[in-house]
């Protein structure tokens, strides 16, 4: 019997007992028979009531101890769960209040990207963090989930750690909480046009650190491509997404556009994503992408590390849009490398540059930016080449259809040329690359010739 029912029956029993007693004592002279019946009745009611009371007490005690045990087990489970989350490095769910407190009401802006603003903060336990507030409508829940699931499943010293996230119910903003990487992004250390670069009075990253960063990023990408259960494609490798820690080691960040690819797939079809200037030709040709598309973007970054300049730059910023000429650094590098004058493309601000390393880095970059994805070396090979364990042969001539020049054309032209796929993050992110100084005329192309080269394929 349930404790509630037992309690009810016990109350009814006690009530009957009281009624019987009232009847007995209200009689002036009760007969002997009446007294006998009343005594038996009283005894029966008393026994039943006592039995029910005892039953109730026992049941209640059992229920209390069961509840206690369950709550203990729950606590234990919760403890184990949070312990395993910590051990596995899974991100924590933060409340908006906690993030408000950590960032002092989103005061210290570190930077701004296509998807939102990044603020510095300090968690309760003293950990410095970078909190990314996602604002862009095109960075939807899908990208948010992609970033969390891709980065939560990978752990590497050269990949930024996602410490937590926050989703505000009712369609409010969402936040990603990363470990804070002290020295900001690579662009601020190599491009003189970057705001951060000017802020640190033109200090630029010395050659040995540039070479080290190239190795760090190669190691991180090799891990993503080869050592994870499902292959992780980053799909937005560029200097803005390479952060430098206190020791100026490279840390790859921003997994908002990443995709998982199973080991038995050789390529996948996806809508155009990534950043102008770093997009592999296969994106625009619609032939499917793979980890080789990351390798192309990586090659582009290597060239920018060597030259300390953007790969695509306007030669005559004052000319009309239609007359404007562009300088395409990869083409310049390829020609100089062929002539054996590779040192001429090195960032002029650099001192004590190791020529052997420059040659290696340039050759690796030229292999990585081959138009045919199959010709590009795997990231594991790239890593070995940079570390000197594998010889780098002379890269083959590549036609270098200047797909990147499409990036400097206006949005409408671009989307018309680049298949009908949606270009969610194909926004004007690289405008900083436009408006630099002149290069030699041999490396200039008009945007129209680039267009015709591409469409001629």
- Could you list the active site residues? 236
Distances in Å between the Cα of 23 and the Cα atoms of 9, 13, 17, 34, 115 are 21, 15, 10, 11, 85
Q: Does 253 bind ligand ATP (CB under 6 A)?
A: yes
Pairing of strands 92-93, 162-167: parallel
Closest CA to 336 of 445, 208, 439, 187: 439
Q: How far apart are CA 134 and CA 343, in angstroms?
A: 42
Q: How far is the CB of 241 from ligand ATP (least distance, A)?
A: 5
Query: Per CB under 6 A, which region of 2-10, 178-186, 213-221, 316-324 contacts ligand ATP?
Result: 178-186
HSE on the CB side for 253, CA within 13 Å? 28
Q: Does 218 bind ligand ATP (CB under 6 A)?
A: no
Q: Which residue has the tokens 């849009």?
A: 321
Q: Does 429 bind ligand ATP (CB under 6 A)?
A: yes
- Element containing residue 230 per DSSP (H, E): none
Q: How far is the CB of 69 from ligand ATP (least distance, A)?
A: 44
From candidates 151, 154, 181, 332, binder to ligand ATP by CB under 6 A: 181
Q: What count of other Cβ atoms lies within 10 Å of the Cβ of residue 172?
A: 10
Report the site for ligand ATP in 66-125 (rule: CB under 6 A).
Answer: 110-116, 118
Distances in Å between the Cα of 311 and the Cα atoms of 10, 185, 255, 366, 438 are 89, 17, 23, 13, 13
Assign 306 to helix, strand or coil. helix
Structure-block tokens of residue 365 = 């970059």
Q: Does 213 bind ligand ATP (CB under 6 A)?
A: no
Q: Does 240 bind ligand ATP (CB under 6 A)?
A: yes
From candidates 150, 159, 160, 261, binder to ligand ATP by CB under 6 A: 160
Residue 86 marked ligand-binding: no
Q: What count of other Cβ atoms lies within 10 Å of the Cβ of residue 169?
A: 6
Q: Does 254 bind ligand ATP (CB under 6 A)?
A: yes
Report the site for ligand ATP in 344-373 (rule: CB under 6 A).
Answer: none
Q: Does 278 bind ligand ATP (CB under 6 A)?
A: no
Q: How far is the CB of 186 from ligand ATP (least distance, A)?
A: 9
Q: Which is nearer to ligand ATP, 252 or 366 (CB)?
A: 252
- Element containing residue 368 per DSSP (H, E): helix 355-368
Q: How far is the CB of 119 from ligand ATP (least distance, A)?
A: 9
Chain residues binding ligand ATP by CB under 6 A are 110-116, 118, 130, 132, 160, 178, 180-181, 184-185, 236, 240-241, 243, 253-254, 256, 429
> Residues at the annotated binding site?
132
Binding residues for ATP: 132
């Amino acid at each position: 019997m349930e404790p509630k029912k037992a309690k009810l029956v016990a109350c009814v029993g006690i009530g009957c007992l009281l009624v019987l007693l009232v009847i007995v004592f209200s009689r002036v002279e009760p007969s002997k028979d009446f007294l006998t019946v009343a005594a038996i009745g009283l005894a029966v009611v008393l026994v039943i009531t006592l039995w029910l009371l005892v039953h109730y007490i026992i049941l209640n005690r059992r229920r209390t101890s069961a509840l206690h045990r369950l709550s203990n087990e729950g606590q234990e489970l919760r403890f184990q769960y949070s312990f395993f989350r910590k051990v596995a490095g899974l991100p924590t769910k933060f409340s908006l209040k906690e993030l408000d407190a950590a960032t002092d009401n989103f005061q210290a802006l570190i930077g701004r990207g296509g998807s939102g603003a990044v603020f510095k903060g300090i968690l309760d336990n003293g950990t410095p963090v970078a909190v990314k507030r996602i604002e862009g409508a095109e960075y939807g829940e899908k990208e948010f989930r992609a970033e969390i699931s891709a980065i939560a499943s990978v752990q590497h010293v050269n990949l930024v750690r996602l410490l937590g996230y926050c989703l505000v119910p009712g369609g409010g903003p969402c936040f990603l909480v990363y470990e804070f990487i002290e020295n900001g992004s690579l662009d601020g250390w190599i491009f003189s046009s970057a705001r951060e670069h000017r802020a640190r009075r033109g200090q630029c990253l010395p050659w040995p650190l540039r070479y080290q960063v190239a190795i760090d990023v190669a190691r991180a990408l090799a891990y993503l491509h080869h050592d994870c259960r499902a292959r992780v494609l980053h799909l937005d490798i560029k200097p803005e997404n390479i952060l430098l820690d206190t020791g100026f080691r490279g840390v790859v960040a921003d997994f908002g556009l990443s995709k998982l690819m199973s080991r038995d797939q050789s390529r996948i079809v996806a809508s155009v994503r990534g950043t102008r200037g770093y997009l592999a030709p296969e994106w625009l040709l619609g032939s499917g992408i793979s980890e080789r598309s990351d390798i192309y973007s990586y090659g582009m970054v290597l060239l920018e590390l060597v030259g300390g300049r953007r790969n695509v730059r306007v030669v005559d910023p004052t000319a009309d849009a239609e007359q404007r000429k562009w300088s395409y650094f990869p083409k310049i590098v390829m020609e100089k490398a062929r002539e054996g004058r590779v040192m001429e493309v090195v960032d002029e601000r650099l001192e004590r540059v190791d020529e052997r390393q420059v040659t290696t880095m340039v050759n690796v970059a030229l292999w990585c930016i081959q138009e045919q994805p199959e010709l590009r070396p795997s990231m594991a090979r790239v890593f070995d080449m940079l570390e000197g364990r594998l010889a780098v042969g002379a890269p083959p001539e590549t036609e270098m259809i200047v797909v990147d020049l499409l990036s400097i054309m206006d949005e409408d032209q671009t989307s018309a040329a680049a298949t009908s796929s949606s270009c969610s993050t194909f926004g004007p992110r690289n405008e900083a690359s436009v408006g630099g100084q002149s290069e030699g005329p041999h490396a200039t192309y008009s945007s129209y010739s680039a267009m015709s080269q591409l469409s001629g394929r």
